[in-house]
Structure 1
Amino acid sequence: MATAVETLGKLERRITISFPLTDVRTEVEKRLKVQARTAKAPGFRPGKVPLKMVAAQYGYQIESEVLNDKVGRAFNDAANENNLRVAGFPNIVPKEEAAEGQLAFDATFEVYPEVAIGDLTAVEIETVQADVSEAEIDKTIDILRKQRVHFHTKGEAGEHGDGGEAIAANGDRVTVDFVGSIDGVEFPGGKAEGYAFVLGEGRMLPEFEAATLGLKVGEAKTFPLSFPEDYHGKDVAGKTASFTITLQKLEWAHLPEVDAEFAKSLGVADGDLAKMREDIKVNLQREVAGRVKARNKEAVMDALIKVAELEVPKTLIAQDSERLAEMTRQDMAQRGMNVKDVPFPAELFAEKAERRVRLGLILSQLVGDNKLQATPEQVKAQIEDFAQSYEDPREVLKYYYSDRRRLGEIEALVLEENVVTYVLGLSKVTSKAVAFDELMGSNAQA
């Protein structure tokens, strides 16, 4: 039995559900008898334990299960009878006053909101586009060369030359001993032997690198170094130390030539340089297409948030905040970080959760109103597109189709793309060309 639905706010509702206490007792006794068939106790054969002993051992647990079942069923029946779309889980608490022989509970909950989407034909959306030029291919080749760099002793003749005068310069790998002190006292982390780094990469503080430049093997230099106020080492942050460095080893960087052997190292079996460049171009175009798609999707989602009016259920925001917090914890743990005692307050994720829930409600409305669900053909095409970059595309297909959850992720991705295509087809779209470097440095996230 349930009372009429009370409106407590724009989305918040409350109903009172009740049922006879005798119904609970009858069901508890029934389940205790079932439990008694297999119950064990010292001195008794299985199934021969007295019912009172079974009740003493399992009564509380069974009573809780019965109450949960009856309250849950009564709430669901009431929600269905009143055509309520319940958002999240209800908060159910015992009611202090109940009719004699009755148990009563107040269930407070939120309902899904009405979503009003404005005129999409009046929405202005700026999309981006980018091209892959020969210059981008050249830059990528330079990066690939640096990833395959070899270091040789500077100043000594060898197969690839001597690297020039044996003086430390940007691009050289130096190995140094150093010791630092503040007011004449060495500090933790301020001393090392055989420490190697490449000059010009910015791994060391600017004063440290500047002092190393121009040194020869065996030479030493003492210099002041001021630690920034926001330096990660709190004991030395904002302080000035005196450092002495001694250059122990000096090596120059030999980058591989762009030749057939280089192409083979990138997987071009016959070493054809033109084919190597084409492979790099195709990979860059795929990456650019993905970044452009992400940026444009972000623009569409931002536009939908502005044009849609709805109240967002606090229950759903809280649930998604908890989910994001747990996902962050798991991700950090998988990266090898010790997060056992690290707090992850859900409220830190509330803003992101609110956006995710809001977009989810908007997309659901758009999809339902305009039949934008993902088709099996679209899902298969999306998986096949993913599979192109793998050695065995068939294994990729098997990976997704063997797990309904994985397949659901692809369906959600296709659904979002359907929405993006639909909205762009209605709205006022302008396109802006963006530089390759700007695009690749962006992190668009919907």
Structure 2
Amino acid sequence: MKATWEKIEKNLGVLEVEVEAERVAAALDKAFNKVVKKANVPGFRKGKVPRPIFEARYGVESLYQDAIDILLPEVYSEAVEQTDIFPVDRPEVDVEQFAKGQPFVFKAKVTVKPEVKLGEYKGIEAPAATAEVTEEELNAELERLQQRHAELIVIDEEPAQNGDTVVIDFDGSVNGVPFEGGKAERYSLELGSGSFIPGFEEQVVGMATGDFKDVVVTFPETYHAEELAGKEAVFKVKLHEIKRKQLPALDDEFAKDVSEFDTLEEYKEDLKKELASRKQQESESARESSIVEKVAENAEVEIPRPMVLGEVQNMVRDFDNRLRTQGMNLDMFLSFSGQTLSDLQEQMEGDAEKRVRNNLVLEQIAKEENITVSDEDIEQELANMADMYKRSKDEIKNILAANGSLGSLREEVQLRKTIEFLVANSKETAAAAE
């Protein structure tokens, strides 16, 4: 097989490939073995038609498309490896020649990973990490812990207010016609959370236990379901129960309930140390991000749009996975927020482009500085993951292998080592170190 690569412009080029006639013949054999199983020829059972009779009846050309489908993926991969390019999108393939007894010739227009021209990346200034915890931060953490350990008390005598969790039935309709997803029974809704269509939760505020009410809202013009966008809907709502948070007192009893300490003062001292450790980690992470951002800004790189769109898809998938851990999914989120998938993807594009740029620049720095990942690095990473997830190292390795993620693990470790290199070669700003 012969393959050549010619750059057309920026990140776009043409891959020209010529495949031996022998491989074309082998692909035609495979195509025949596939289609003969379904061929109907009088006098022969399915799958038993001799090749010459099949070709005489249907023509050898009837096998060409199946043969191309069989041969093209493998020879394209070989050509990519042979020309040492890195495609970032599906190629536009133009078959120039495919016939029995002749070489297979095709051209593929391919978008490839862009070249990166590095700017300054050593000696980058960034604020020093800090672990100092203020009294305000300590009090805010105590208040958050109060909220977490609050009890939900059923309220019978008072109407619902913002912050309450109400248990409701609702049945929605537009012009008297019910719509999909507009009905539920004994649904728990936190008022003020913004989970439902704008205007819904505000109208539930003030309802009392046992009340019925028609809640009238208008779907946003950008609502994902086109048949509902901009339409007025009526929800028949019945309120079954109102639950309100009752915060525990901040005293020694609270400390005993939530920790191993006997007094609130002891607990506060320990909590301050924990916050300091967390703040140190967050501060170090922020410092790393600041350095990477500045290094990326100093570099010159033109990012192909397919790379951005691919990263958007990754971000949407990750977002959906996080929602599922909270008992929701992407469809429910879009329904409640009144957004379309396109709206969400558009919101993510800026961050996606930044991620792609940062990773490309870090990859180039790794090449320039010869930052490599050894087998020992991978083994240590697997050991860390095993410790984190309380699984054996072999289990973690098997899970990653099954998901095809072992290769990406090596890339992640290399990126992290590159960031460590940048931090080690950076400068702390005097103002932030005070």
**Contact 1:172 1:251 (8 Å CA) reproduced:** no
TM-score by length of 2: 0.61
Give the C-alpha shift of residue 167 in structure 1.
9.6
Q: Which runs of 5+ in 1 are unaligned?
A: 155-165, 178-187, 189-193, 218-226, 238-247, 435-446
Match of 1:422 in 2: 421
Give the C-alpha shift of residue 283 in structure 1.
4.1
Counterpart AA for 2:283: V
Q: Does 1:354 align with 2:347?
A: no
Counterpart AA for 2:399: D
**Contact 1:260 1:272 (8 Å CA) reproduced:** yes
Give the C-alpha shift of residue 299 in structure 1.
0.7
Counterpart AA for 2:76: G
SS of 1:105 mapped into structure 2:
strand
Match of 1:304 in 2: 295
Match of 1:255 in 2: 247
* Separation in 2, partners of 1:338, 1:200: 21
Give the C-alpha shift of residue 303 in structure 1.
0.8
How large is the RMSD of aligned CA atoms in angstroms? 6.1
**Contact 2:16 2:106 (8 Å CA) reproduced:** yes
Q: 1:228 to 1:375 in 2, by over 3 A?
A: same
Larger radius of gyration: 1
**Contact 2:38 2:46 (8 Å CA) reproduced:** yes
SS of 2:303 mapped into structure 1:
coil
Give the C-alpha shift of residue 96 in structure 1.
8.1
2:76 to 67, 72, 84: 72
SS of 2:331 mapped into structure 1:
coil
Counterpart AA for 2:400: R
* Separation in 2, partners of 1:46, 1:131: 79
1:403 to 389, 399, 402: 399
Give the C-alpha shift of residue 364 in structure 1.
1.3
Give the C-alpha shift of residue 317 in structure 1.
3.8
Q: Does 1:338 align with 2:334?
A: no
Say which is worse superposed, 352-361 or 122-131, in terms of deviation: 122-131
Counterpart AA for 1:132: V
* Separation in 2, partners of 1:73, 1:169: 63
* Cα-to-partner distance string for 1:329-355 (whole Å, 9 max, x where unaligned): 666677334379965489735544433
Match of 1:7 in 2: 7
Match of 2:121 in 1: 120
Percent identity at matched positions?
A: 20
Give the C-alpha shift of residue 280 in structure 1.
3.2
Counterpart AA for 2:10: K
SS of 1:132 mapped into structure 2:
coil
**Contact 2:28 2:64 (8 Å CA) reproduced:** no
Q: 1:371 to 1:280 in 2, by over 3 A?
A: farther
Q: 1:228 to 1:133 in 2, by over 3 A?
A: farther
Q: 1:207 to 1:198 in 2, by over 3 A?
A: closer
Match of 2:94 in 1: 93
Give the C-alpha shift of residue 320 in structure 1.
3.5
Q: 1:377 to 1:132 in 2, by over 3 A?
A: farther
* Separation in 2, partners of 1:19, 1:202: 59
Match of 1:316 in 2: 307
Give the C-alpha shift of residue 307 in structure 1.
1.5
Give the C-alpha shift of residue 422 in structure 1.
2.0
Give the C-alpha shift of residue 295 in structure 1.
1.6
**Which aligned pairs between 1:142-153 and structure 2 lie closer than 5 A?**
142-150=143-151
Q: 1:12 to 1:253 in 2, by over 3 A?
A: closer
**Which aligned pairs between 1:369-384 and structure 2 lie closer than 5 A?**
369-374=368-373
* Separation in 2, partners of 1:421, 1:287: 19
Counterpart AA for 1:256: P
Give the C-alpha shift of residue 105 in structure 1.
1.8
